[in-house]
Structure 1
């Protein structure tokens, strides 16, 4: 309870922590760093803190953590630094070269690498998801199918509201394969090794899989697991902050992903590459985009002044696949042609487009790969957010409508 001392009101450790929006342990960390002063409470039980000093620190912390008016979250998942990006301090492209998607996802959630780990869809959840997806109109997009599958899987899971860490991990390991296996197959199903990439392949293309091509798909999934606080990831964290269960949090991410400026961007690059291959000229296609005042798809990224490391890593794998070389050459031509006008580097959307064009996939295949891959990252962020104070993301609106009182309409 707050004490009223001669020099002003004083707060208990718990009250100070609530005002600062941190855990009690962090309050003592502030004391050790000289940012707060404490005083033993009467009777020597616990410490008290000057309320004005705590409020001043809270104002400084909010100001320091929000440069340029941007909302900033502390996260230990992804670091983007110049021309590289890292998962929990490890180079993400090196991880993608060495390990499979499920192994990296599970390690990102738990901190323990389990070689050969597999994700399996429960029969009841998968049956419910397939029934729901099969009932959709034929023209339904893949992201809509994934969102419906996530909702059906949630309804089939009576333990979905259990936000204990182990329960969330169990849901995550079954949700991803359920999403993939609920999608309609384009060609013959291929068992492969049972990995997500092999199972996803038959949902994207009727072409027979080759080890190198499926490895490229697996690498694309691994590279796209997370990329800091993109729009869809922020949506997931907002949902998790309200203590939405993991299926609902993933659904929030899928909703934000569907915009043309996010997950659907690779489809635009796919159509452009197809046109380049059809016309035999990157120059003509780039000129058409510029003449119409449109950005050239698949080029440039606000977070990388140089090449997108995800694109470079995926290009490296695709270069070893003979069937991908025409699309890869077309992508390089687009990049070099545009460089005469403005220096922009290929981003991961262009690399996804090379993969989808080369493997006979539809234009929306890149969006599907993106959504499945990013589900693992969304779960990682939800797990982080469940450890934070609930409902901490509550911005205040700046009202700019007519001032009251106004007459009834």
Structure 2
């Protein structure tokens, strides 16, 4: 006889086979959804080696009409989980109806005019004061042979300097975040006039003034991607007592090996091939099964960030044609990584500049998650389920 608890769970959780069938995807795509926080998963009470998946999330991603029992929240109520800490609460961003919102404001609309400083203040909930007004340039260069190396070095230095056992008020933490972001941009761009963050990067990359808005748009759209692995890493570090810089460093470390960076790297290689071999390279790449940059499991209807960025850039004809053909051949929209690469190539930025744009923009959002966890987040008490050899067996 089915218990009341089992009946309650049946409407909210399903096994892998049914989840794959309803989504129409392969297993690795399902795992990508879970790793990026798009689908909630939990161990099967009857077999802890297997997982169950939240029906509400699957309905939302597949676009199907909810059936009876399918309606639920992003995660189940706490009483239906196996222990505390299953749910992470965030007021930073959310994806809904194919759009991304930063604290309730559409990211694509913000990118039309907002600077990264504007978006940072929004995400940090700094409405009454401007934390960037308290920032002063730091004297001395940051060591490192690459922009990414200098970025990580700057964060590590701030994490060490900002380590503090006593609690700080939110206003002080926001100023700390502003200093971290300011020094991170200086680490990548080098010292110079105290312009807006995107202007400092554009100046370092020798971008013409009329095109600097593309750098600004890219940074704004890169600021956050919902509750994915980098955001969770930043929140976990913050909950463990790390400073905003330390928490953001944990998030960027997760981002540096994430599917987003892998997609961006592969898309960059494909764009280089297209520029060298003309647009027919797209068809050859598709036939060889190596066409990258089209279709993101996290955005089955197309990434709105990519659409917003590509709508603002006038691409060279060879690349524009290749992207059109790539979309026609795959039936999928360009990823945000491909959009960043396309903008970087259009502006003739350094080889790794697309990844640098993603990381610097994302830094603002990771600082927001760290701040949100410190000031508003519930304690994270995840439980580790040991499945290794019996202690003392060897």
TM-score calculated relative to the size of structure 1: 0.69
Aligned to 2:361: 373
Instruction: Map 1:295-306; keep pairs closer than 5 Å.
Output: 296-306=291-301
* Aligned with residue 155 of structure 2, among 150, 154, 158: 150
CA contact (8 A) 1:121 1:175 kept: no
For residues 230 and 404 of structure 1, what CA distance do their matches in structure 2 show? 33
> Based on CA coordinates, which of the two structures has the bigger radius of gyration?
1
CA contact (8 A) 1:79 1:87 kept: yes
For residues 164 and 181 of structure 1, what CA distance do their matches in structure 2 show? 26
Aligned to 1:281: 279
Aligned length: 317
Q: CA RMSD in A?
A: 3.0
CA contact (8 A) 2:218 2:309 kept: yes
Aligned to 1:104: 119
Aligned to 2:219: 221
Aligned to 1:201: 202
Q: In the TM superposition, what is the alpha-carbon distance from 1:345 to its structure 2 partner?
A: 1.0
Q: In the TM superposition, what is the alpha-carbon distance from 1:334 to its structure 2 partner?
A: 2.3
Unpaired stretches in structure 2, ≥5 consecutive residues: 1-75
Q: In the TM superposition, what is the alpha-carbon distance from 1:200 to its structure 2 partner?
A: 1.3
**Distance change (3 Å), C-alpha of 1:190 and 1:272:** farther
Q: In the TM superposition, what is the alpha-carbon distance from 1:190 to its structure 2 partner?
A: 7.1
CA contact (8 A) 2:78 2:87 kept: no
Aligned to 1:41: none
* Aligned with residue 136 of structure 2, among 118, 122, 133: 122
Q: In the TM superposition, what is the alpha-carbon distance from 1:388 to its structure 2 partner?
A: 5.2
Instruction: Map 1:5-404; keep pairs closer than 5 Å.
Output: 61-62=77-78, 64=80, 71-110=86-125, 112=127, 122-124=136-138, 126-127=139-140, 130-131=141-142, 133=143, 136=144, 138=145, 140=146, 142-157=147-162, 162-183=167-188, 191=193, 194-203=195-204, 205=205, 208-259=206-257, 261-282=259-280, 284-288=281-285, 290-291=287-288, 293-294=289-290, 296-319=291-314, 324=316, 326-336=318-328, 338-339=329-330, 343-387=331-375, 392-401=380-389, 403-404=390-391
CA contact (8 A) 1:273 1:327 kept: yes
Give per-residue Cα distances to partners, 1:148-197, cap 9 Å, x unaligned: 11112344457696442112101111111101112265xxx874x70101
